[in-house]
Structure 1
Amino acid sequence: MSEPTHPPPNLTPAFCFHPSALRQFLRSSRSLIDDPINNSLNNLLTPSHPSGSPTTTIRTGPTPHTLPDPLCTTYLHRVLFPSWHARSQVLTYCASVATSPDPDDPEAVEREVFNRRGQERVVDERLDPYSGRFFPKEARTEALAGVLRNEEGVERIVRERSWGVVRGRCEGLDGVISGDGSRSWQDEFERWRRRREEEGGGR
């Protein structure tokens, strides 16, 4: 069974303000957990079997058959949901950074001077119709908020796709989880998260 993704240790604002590091963590988790989810489910259904030799094993090929509920539940609770939770933790933390004061912004003074000069400049749009355009530099918290909006959209799409695979492969899951048409991955993920907190697993 795949190992779940864990959030980076000791999250700091510096991590959030490093867009490439933030995106790399999210993309790596998605590529390890969500992208190969169908193969991961296949591996649950077709485990290795001893072949007579103590050092070799044989594996049956992929199968389109559905998986029994216990296998699916174990995979959801030990791999998929913990990985989603790790990404949610990072996104939530960085969202708090993006909406908090940023006294340590190294470009704050330079940006303020640039924006003030841009606002005070005198332009003659009769000579140059484009001279009136001015694009102020945004604070790094604003830039981070933009990155997060994009990544949160990607995250929703990835989870919808993964949940579609799970529902199609897991025996009885579609009827149990969404037989009334109202429950989704959000419902099941939230139920798992609450249960985890009640059992002392933390956030």
Structure 2
Amino acid sequence: MAEPTKASNLTPQFCFTTGALREFLRLSRSSIDDSITQNLNALVTPARAGFDPSSTSHRTPRSGLKQIDPEACQTFKDQVLFPTWQARTDVLYYCGVVASSPDPDDPEATLRELEKEKDSQRVVDERLDPYSARFFPREARTETLATLIRQETQVENIVRTRTWATVQERCGGTGDTWEQAANRWAETRAAHPGR
């Protein structure tokens, strides 16, 4: 069974290093969500009394996926799935706050200001060149990060919806959405911090 992916100590530099941020999210999703069927299959006990050699003498039609022991499912959700989701939520939230905060350490701030000043002094004659009025200033790294966080939040919602559908199918559905189940888990964890 896969272990939950842990986020390292969060810093603004981690968020602005979008490659590292994307890699963390990719690894976390691939270890749990993308391989949810394999993770759930690992919870099924193949044979309680040992291997029966006569079981290979005839073919049994597959009647669908085997239901998993509810206790094993709950343990998987409580100890692996929800903590992994929470780690990704924490990272996305933290980086969202970084993206919406002022960035006094932006290394390209001066360059952007120079480009804007240069553009304001530019003479544009659209009769000679209809495309000369185009000016695409560089985005601040906080704007780039905010766009990435919005995209990754949407991806996260899609991934969790798909994963939760598989979990519900294999573990027996409660009718809850993944948001309701994750919120209930977080409330239980807050009420009993040692769990």
Q: TM-score range by the shorter chain?
A: 0.7 to 0.9
Q: Distance in 1 between matches of 2:168 and 2:44?
A: 15
1:100 maps to: 101
Q: Secondary structure at the match of 2:21?
A: helix
Q: Secondary structure at the match of 1:122?
A: coil
Q: Secondary structure at the match of 1:114?
A: helix
- RCO higher in 1 or 2 (8 Å CA, sep ≥ 6)? 2
Unaligned segments of structure 2, at least 5 residues: 52-61
CA 1:5–1:201 in 2, change beyond 3 Å: closer, same or farther? Answer: farther
1:48 positional shift? 8.2
2:179 maps to: 186
* 1:42 matched to 2:41: yes
CA 1:125–1:161 in 2, change beyond 3 Å: closer, same or farther? Answer: same
1:5 maps to: 5
Q: Secondary structure at the match of 1:121?
A: coil
Q: TM-score, normalised by structure 2?
A: 0.88
Q: Distance in 2 between matches of 1:103 and 1:124?
A: 36
1:68 maps to: 69
* 1:25 matched to 2:18: no
Q: TM-score, normalised by structure 1?
A: 0.84
Tell which deviates more after alignment, 84-93 or 115-124: 115-124
Identity %: 51
1:153 positional shift? 0.9
Q: Distance in 1 between matches of 2:156 and 2:46?
A: 30
Moved over 2 A (4+): 46-52
CA 1:77–1:195 in 2, change beyond 3 Å: closer, same or farther? Answer: same
CA contact (8 A) 1:95 1:145 kept: yes
1:198 positional shift? 1.6
1:56 maps to: none
2:57 maps to: none
Q: 1:55-134 residue pairs with structure 2 within 5 A?
A: 64-134=65-135
Alignment length, in residue pairs? 184
